Amino acid sequence: MTDDTLRQRFGDFLTKAETGIYGLLAVLLSVTALVTIVNAARILWEGLGQGSVAAQTLRALNEMLIVMMLVEILHTVRISIRSHMLAMTEPFLVVGLIAAIRRILVITLEAAALGNEAWKAEDARGILHSLMVEFGLLGLLVLILVLSIALLRRYAPAAEQL
């Protein structure tokens, strides 16, 4: 057996292994997304039964944003299986954008849930300050990610826009 034949067979084996691993990853991501959707529905259903939909909204919204991130990652895996290369940058930026927005929403809803009286306490000022710094940094991150996505869509090479 020549070296070229051996290299060709080994390359074919690695291609099949890569496709199999990506396929397994896609199945696991799909199952995780479905379970998370069911969990979000359960949270909302329990909130309706207890009459506390507003309190459960944060948890359900958190779950749904996680599903959106999983679907974006699944999209990237699907493209990687099809093209056998990890060339897509935009889905990773979108996942980062969703994660940053998710954290902003969580901070906002947690701060609102504490109420005005809790924020007047002396020890709450440090917590409020750190939350506002995180909020500001996340806002800057969202702006940078949106700008990056816009620039990528405008100036990306044709192969990048699958």
State how far the Cα of 98 lies from the Cα of 62, in Å rounded to an integer: 11
The domains of the chain are located at: 1-84, 87-162
Who's near 55: CB < 8 A, 6+ residues apart? 47, 113
pTM for this model (two decimals): 0.66
Counts of helices then strands in the chain (DSSP H, E): 4, 0
The predicted model gives 69-75 an average pLDDT of 85
pLDDT digits (tens, 9 = 90+) for 87-104: 567 778 888 898 898 888
